C-alpha cells in the first residue's frame, strides 16, 4: 500500500521530539526536559475570559482572518513594542498556532524549485514544510563558536539565483541563541542586496534575557519583505490553545488567508477571546519570564558542574549542551539516559546535522525537576566512558 502514499511524504521521518515525548508518557517516574511547553498553567484571567465567552454563547466561526478586535489589539501591541504598524484589516491573519502560520507562509511564497534558506540547528518543522511545497531547503550551519548565530557572510555564501526566502528563528529553538540589533541589521543588508523575503518566527521574542529582542520587520526597509510570525503559546503559557498570527505584506497575507480558509477556516473563537485577555494583562507573563531566567542559570550551572560544556542561552527556554566528550551520538545518549535514568532530553541531530553532538534540555519545568534531572544525568555520566 505504500505506493499509494505521495513520494514527498513517504520519505519523511517522523518528528524526533514527539518520539521521545510519547515514550516518556508511558514511563512512570520519568522527568521530561524534552517538550518545549511551559509548566505554568495558563493564567486564570485568560482562562476566565474563555469560560465567560462560552457562557455567553460564543461558539461560532469567526472571519477567516480572525476576530477584528483581536487583530486590532495585535496591531497595537506590535506597534507599541516594536514601532512597526500593521493594518489589522489586511496585514494580520490569525492562525491555529505559529506552526500553521509558518506552513501558510512558505506555501504562499515558494514555487517548486525555489530555494529557501534555513539556519540550523532549527525547529523541526521548517524543512518538512518547505519540502511539502516542492521547494528546496538549503541549510546554513551555525555553531557554538558563533553562539549559534546566523552570520551574514555565511548566509551570503548559500544564496543562488533560485533563492526565494530565508527563515529566521531567534530567539532560537533548540539552542537558545539570540541576535543583537547589529546581527539582524547585517542580515537585512544581505536580504536587500539579493531581493529576498524573510519568514521571521519570533514566538520566543518575549523570552529574551540579555537585552531587548529586535523585531526583524522593524528594521529599515524590512516590513514589506518580512512575514512576521508570533503567537501566544510560549510567553502566555497557552500551548494547547493553538493560537498564532502572521503579519506582513498585504498581498502575501491575503495569499496565506486563501490557503487558511480552505484547510482551517478559522482559529477557535474561544482561543481568540482568551488571547484578547492575554494582551490586556502582562504582569503574570513578566513573572514567568523572571522564573525562566532563574531556571536558566540553574540549568546551565548544573550541566557544567556534571561535566557537560554548555553555551549560555540568551532567550527561549532551552539549553543545548555538548555531549561529545561521552563518545555517544546524541541519539544514543538520549535513549540510554531515558532507559537508564528516566530523563527525557532531545537529540540535537533531530534539529539538523549541525546539532549532532548536542542535546536539547528544556528548563520549562520546576526547579525541583531540574535539580533531580541533573542529579540523574550526573549519575548517568559517571557510568559511561568519557573520551
Task: Check if the beta carbon of residue 357 is closer than 8 Å to that of residue 348.
Answer: yes
CB under 8 Å to 114, separation ≥6 — which residues? 133, 135, 136, 162, 163, 164, 165
For residue 209, is pLDDT > 70? yes
- State residue 177's pLDDT score: 98
Confidence category of residue 36, pLDDT binned at 50, 70, 90? confident
- State residue 72's pLDDT score: 98
Q: What is the pTM of this model?
A: 0.94
Confidence category of residue 17, pLDDT binned at 50, 70, 90? low
Task: Check if the beta carbon of residue 75 is closer than 8 Å to that of residue 217.
Answer: no
Question: Tens of pLDDT along 71-111?
Answer: 999 999 999 999 999 999 999 999 999 999 999 999 999 99
Confidence category of residue 2, pLDDT binned at 50, 70, 90? low
Q: How far apart are the first and last CA of the chain?
A: 46
- State residue 271's pLDDT score: 97
* Highest mean pLDDT of the ranges 131-135, 269-273, 334-338, 380-384: 269-273
**Region for 140 from its dihedrals, namely left if φ exceeds 0, alpha if ψ lies in -120 to 50, beta otherwise:** beta
Question: 115: which strand partners?
Answer: 136, 163
For residue 164, is pLDDT > 80? yes
- State residue 383's pLDDT score: 77
C-alpha cell at 196: 529576498
Tell me the mean pLDDT in the region 248-265. Answer: 97
Tell me the mean pLDDT in the region 142-147. Answer: 96
Tell me the mean pLDDT in the region 251-264. Answer: 97
Task: Check if the beta carbon of residue 33 is closer than 8 Å to that of residue 373.
Answer: yes
Tell me the mean pLDDT in the region 38-57. Answer: 94
Tell me the domains of the chain and their CATH numbers.
Answer: 2-42+284-382 (3.90.1150.10), 44-280 (3.40.640.10)
Give the percent of the chain with pLDDT over 70: 95
C-alpha cell at 195: 531581493
- In the predicted model, what is the mean pLDDT of the chain? 93
Question: Tens of pLDDT along 181-198?
Answer: 999 999 999 999 999 999
Task: Check if the beta carbon of residue 169 is closer than 8 Å to that of residue 123.
Answer: yes
- In angstroms and rounded to an integer, the radius of gyration of the C-alpha atoms of the chain is 21
**Cα 183 to Cα 181: distance, rounded to the nearest angstrom:** 5
Question: Which has the closest alpha carbon to 191: 214, 225, 217, 147?
Answer: 225
Residues in the chain, how many? 387
For residue 39, is pLDDT > 90? no
- State residue 387's pLDDT score: 47
Amino acid at each position: 500500500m505504500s505506493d499509494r502514499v505521495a513520494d514527498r511524504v513517504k520519505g519523511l521521518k517522523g518528528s524526533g521530539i514527539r518520539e521521545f515525548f510519547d515514550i516518556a508518557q508511558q514511563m512512570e517516574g520519568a522527568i521530561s526536559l524534552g517538550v518545549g511547553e511551559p509548566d505554568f498553567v495558563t493564567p486564570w484571567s485568560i482562562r476566565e475570559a474563555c469560560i465567560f465567552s462560552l457562557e455567553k454563547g460564543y461558539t461560532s466561526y469567526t472571519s477567516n482572518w480572525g476576530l477584528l478586535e483581536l487583530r486590532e489589539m495585535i496591531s497595537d501591541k506590535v506597534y507599541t513594542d516594536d514601532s512597526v504598524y500593521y493594518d489589522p484589516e489586511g496585514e494580520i491573519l490569525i492562525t491555529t498556532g505559529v506552526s500553521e502560520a509558518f506552513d501558510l507562509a512558505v506555501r504562499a511564497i515558494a514555487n517548486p524549485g525555489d530555494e529557501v534558506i534555513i539556519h540550523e540547528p532549527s525547529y523541526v518543522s521548517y524543512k518538512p514544510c518547505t519540502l511539502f511545497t516542492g521547494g528546496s531547503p538549503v541549510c546554513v550551519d551555525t555553531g557554538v563558536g558563533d553562539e549559534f548565530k546566523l552570520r551574514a557572510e555565511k548566509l551570503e555564501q548559500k544564496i543562488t539565483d533560485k533563492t526565494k526566502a530565508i527563515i529566521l528563528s531567534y530567539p532560537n529553538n533548540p539552542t537558545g541563541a539570540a541576535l543583537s540589533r547589529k546581527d539582524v541589521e547585517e542580515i537585512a543588508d544581505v536580504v536587500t542586496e539579493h531581493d529576498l523575503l524573510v519568514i521571521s518566527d519570533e514566538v520566543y521574542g518575549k523570552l529574551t534575557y540579555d537585552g531587548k529582542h529586535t523585531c526583524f520587520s522593524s528594521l529599515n526597509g524590512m516590513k514589506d519583505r518580512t512575514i512576521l510570525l508570533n503567537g501566544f503559546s510560549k510567553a502566555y503559557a497557552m500551548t494547547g490553545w493553538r493560537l498564532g498570527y502572521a503579519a506582513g505584506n498585504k498581498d502575501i497575507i491575503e495569499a496565506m488567508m486563501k490557503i487558511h480558509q480552505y484547510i482551517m477556516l478559522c482559529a477557535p473563537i474561544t482561543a481568540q477571546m482568551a488571547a484578547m485577555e492575554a494582551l490586556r494583562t502582562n504582569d503574570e507573563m513578566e513573572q514567568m519570564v523572571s522564573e525562566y531566567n532563574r531556571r536558566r542559570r540553574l540549568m546551565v550551572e548544573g550541566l557544567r558542574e556534571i561535566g557537560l560544556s554548555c553555551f549560555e542561552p540568551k532567550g527561549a527556554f532551552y539549553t543545548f549542551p555538548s555531549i561529545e566528550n561521552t563518545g555517544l551520538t546524541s541519539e544514543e545518549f538520549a535513549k540510554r539516559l531515558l532507559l537508564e535514568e528516566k530523563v527525557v532530553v532531545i537529540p540535537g541531530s533531530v534539529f539538523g546535522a549541525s546539532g549532532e553532538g548536542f542535546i536539547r534540555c528544556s528548563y520549562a519545568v520546576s526547579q525541583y525537576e531540574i535539580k533531580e534531572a541533573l542529579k540523574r544525568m550526573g549519575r548517568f555520566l559517571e557510568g559511561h566512558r568519557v573520551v
